[in-house]
Structure 1
Amino acid sequence: MAGTPRLVVVSAGLSQPSSTRLLADRLAEATRRRLAEAGREAAPRVVELRGLATEIAGHLVTGFPAPALREALEAVSGAEGLIVVTPVFAASYSGLFKSFFDLVEPDALAGTPVLIAATGGTPRHSLVLDHALRPLFTHLHATVVPTGVYAAAEDWGGGGDALTPTLPVRVDRAAGELAALLPERSRDAGDGAEQEVVPFAERLAALRRNSRA
């Protein structure tokens, strides 16, 4: 087995349980499965922003993170792959979601593969992926995978239509794209072996193959 990549999942759901966390868990499991098919391991770590809301507000006004928030920020900044999921508020990401990523150090996510996802009550808000989430993580210099996943209320258990694949199909496709971009060896491997450097062109080709699968 190659080194386990540091995969972090950020869920901004406000209720408990929430469809946002449910989608986050499905994406994490699909990514873990795709990596396992390639003979690799992953143990995704979940960061629930709901429990950090007070600390996020405190950091914004004081400039100092409390211990739990500091640990979450360090996990995200040190991730080798991210899955981020937000509920839709006013046709955009939630304030809690944006406030958390406002606290991530500039360039901490540079080059980090990110899978973006969102949940909402109606399919009309699916454009949030491209008009809000994708620009945010492009601004942070992250590498956003081509397929974003939006889940409306009707997607849970729905059969899709002629133009829209079912939610499980979209989840699997996005997970395959993220898995293809994760490093072959984690920076935490620590076994003294020389890390194999895979040219970006090869990784991009693999991502395209997964997108067509």
Structure 2
Amino acid sequence: MHTTDRTYRIVAISAGVSEPSSTRLLTDRLTQKSLQHLEQLGLVAEGGVIELAPIAGEIARATTTGYPGELLREKMRQVAQADAIIAVTPVYKAGPSGLFKSFFDILDDDVLIAKPVLLGATAGSGRHALVIDQQMRPLFAYLRALTLPTSVFAASEDWSSTELGSRIDRAAIELSQLVASDVAAQISGKTWDAHRHDDSRTTSEQLIEDDAFDYDSPLMRLAVGR
């Protein structure tokens, strides 16, 4: 059992848009189970969920202008400061949603270095089960995140299956063990300092905290449509 005064932070990202949302339901189950296993390891942990649907307009604006607004910058700050990420998307037309992909497109390439990431997806049919391995893992590999061996896919018929609960539990155990190892802190610091960061993208924690741009200037307000 680990003992520490530190509070670990799990940030879950849900790209569900319906109400109620099976994507949000899977996100919540993964988050709750991960926090439970961290507690069993003797760690203090807290979790939060970033819903992408309410900030879809902000994401679209940042995609076209290159400059995120304050609300989106706060969400990015949460991602940068997290000890682990749970990323869950609905599957549309045999791929992760455009909203999900757009959010990660505007993150600085180094924000997720060595950060444990639990991948999840929901769909109406089991035919989409390979989307996580074929499309989501390559995205997070490019971002140099530590994706867990176990991912969780839930089709409509899976919600009544005990296998889904077992898979959620297995993925949560893997996440909790990686978080407890502090692997992200040991790797990401040196890697971040060794790379040049493009100031045209202000999504990294460093650029956010340094206020690299004056977002309230007349020119910047015009650029972002405010």
Matched, 1:15 2:18: yes
The higher radius of gyration belongs to 2
Uncovered stretches (5+) of structure 2, i.e. residues with no partner: 187-226
| Letter in structure 2 aligned against 1:57 | A
**Percent identical across equivalent pairs?**
47
Aligned residue pairs total 183
Matched, 1:181 2:178: yes
* Aligned equivalent of 1:71: 74
SS of residue matched to 1:182: helix
| Letter in structure 2 aligned against 1:113 | P
Of 164, 169, 177, the match for 1:167: 164
SS of residue matched to 1:44: strand
The offset of 1:78, in angstroms, is: 2.0
Rounded Cα–Cα distance in structure 1 between residues aligned with 2:44 and 2:123: 31
Q: How does 1:105-120 map to 2 (within 5 A)?
A: 105-120=108-123
CA contact (8 A) 2:114 2:183 kept: no
Runs of 4+ in 1 over 6 A off after TM superposition: none
Rounded Cα–Cα distance in structure 2 between residues aligned with 1:142 and 1:185: 14
Rounded Cα–Cα distance in structure 2 between residues aligned with 1:62 and 1:124: 36
Cα distance 1:108–1:185, how it changes in 2: closer, same or farther (>3 A)? closer
Matched, 1:95 2:98: yes
SS of residue matched to 1:35: helix
CA contact (8 A) 2:9 2:84 kept: yes
Rounded Cα–Cα distance in structure 1 between residues aligned with 2:155 and 2:44: 30
When the two structures are superposed, what TM-score results if normalisation uses the length of structure 2?
0.77
The offset of 1:23, in angstroms, is: 0.1
Rounded Cα–Cα distance in structure 1 between residues aligned with 2:117 and 2:30: 12
* Aligned equivalent of 2:155: 152
Rounded Cα–Cα distance in structure 2 between residues aligned with 1:78 and 1:105: 13
When the two structures are superposed, what TM-score results if normalisation uses the length of structure 1?
0.82
